[in-house]
Structure 1
Amino acid sequence: MARLFFTQQLARFTSVPQIETSAGALRAALEDAFAINPLLRGYVLDDQGRLRANVTIFIDGRRCHDPARLDDPLQPGSQVYVLQALSGG
């Protein structure tokens, strides 16, 4: 099963589950996480269902290919990291 990890920056705003999923694609895996915590959706996706500009996802060390479609395939042992960019200076 693929595993999803969310950074602690997101945990400041809402509960961020680390989940295992049998989803075969990134969007379906994210939906599994949103089913556990619906508030998480608004921090990860915009109102068009695309990845927010300040969020990046890495799958097995590679950046998500299409932040609008989120159709990257997942393997049973994939590790998915959802990272929120930090700003400041």
Structure 2
Amino acid sequence: MGLASSPVQIDHPARSRERAAAYAARTGEMAQITFTQNLTRHVECPALEVAGGTVREALERYFELHPRVRGYVLDEQGALRKHVVVFVDGQQLKDRAGLSEPVSERTSLYVMQALSGG
């Protein structure tokens, strides 16, 4: 008796975003993303409600609407830039590379530049 194996399905990121957006549209789940004023001085980044099941999905949806903001927030590997901090419902984001923390319709994301120096 052999073991039956089922094919592993790997989801494409674009399909994941499409599904997250479709789910949010059906359920009305939208997270609020707000950027600090110091970021808005450099690039237009208005506060918006966006669909997504994770911080990454919500940010990706935002970047689809405002692509210039991506370079201010994420580095070339897709992780948060060194001097950018994201708060999820008042708690600092822990997964700076994967941005995997879940979001829901009541989630508030606050994106700011961390201040450094003396």
- Do they fold alike, i.e. is TM over 0.5? yes
Classify the secondary structure of the residue corresponding to 2:67.
coil
Higher strand share: 1
From 2, 12, 29, the counterpart of 2:58: 29
Identify the structure with bigger relative contact order (alpha carbons < 8 Å, sequence gap 6+). 1
Percentage of matched positions with identical amino acids: 47
Note the residue ranges of structure 2 that are not aligned, 5 or more in a row: 1-29
Between Structure 1 and Structure 2, how many residues are aligned?
89
1:48-73 deviation line (CA, Å, top 9, x unaligned): 11000100000011111210000110
Classify the secondary structure of the residue corresponding to 1:48.
coil
Q: CA deviation at 1:88?
A: 5.2
Which runs of 4 or more aligned residues in structure 1 lie more than 2 Å from their structure 2 counterparts after TM superposition? 86-89
- For 2:104 and 2:83, the matched residues in 1 are separated by 26
Note the residue ranges of structure 1 that are not aligned, 5 or more in a row: none
Higher helix share: 2
TM-score when scaled to structure 1? 0.92
CA RMSD of aligned residues (A): 1.2
Classify the secondary structure of the residue corresponding to 1:9.
helix
Matched ranges for 1:8-87 at <5 A: 8-87=37-116
TM-score when scaled to structure 2? 0.71
Q: CA deviation at 1:33?
A: 1.3
